[in-house]
Amino acid sequence: MSTTVTAKGQVTIPKPLRDLLGIGPGSKVEFRRGADGSVVLVAADGKKQHSRFAGLRGHAGNGLSTDEIMSLTRGDA
């Protein structure tokens, strides 16, 4: 993957790489120099990005029973 450096020295991290590293808006990153002279991009906050659907998962709590739902849909209530 390649990207272009802007006049301000900024680059866009390609989406597959952001996904792999768990980098999202507001994430901090570090650039580290490897022993061989390479530069490595590391997510600095150490947090793994959760699925965009993670916030939708969970338990709704105590809800209506099946009989109560059927009663509401039939108009018995």
CATH code assigned at 33: 2.10.260.10
Give me the domain span that covers residue 41: 1-49
How many domains does the chain divide into?
1
CB atoms within 10 A of CB 17: 12
Res. 72: pLDDT tops 90: no
20 belongs to a structural domain: yes
> Measured between alpha carbons, how far is 39 from 61 in angstroms, rounded to an integer?
48
64 belongs to a structural domain: no
Burial class of residue 34, CB neighbours in 10 A (0-12, 13-18, 19+)? exposed
33 or 44, which is more confident = 33
Q: Which stretches of the chain are assigned E, i.e. beta strand?
A: 29-33, 39-43
Res. 20: pLDDT tops 60: yes
**CB 67, CB 77: distance < 8 Å:** no
pLDDT band at residue 54, thresholds of 50, 70 and 90? low
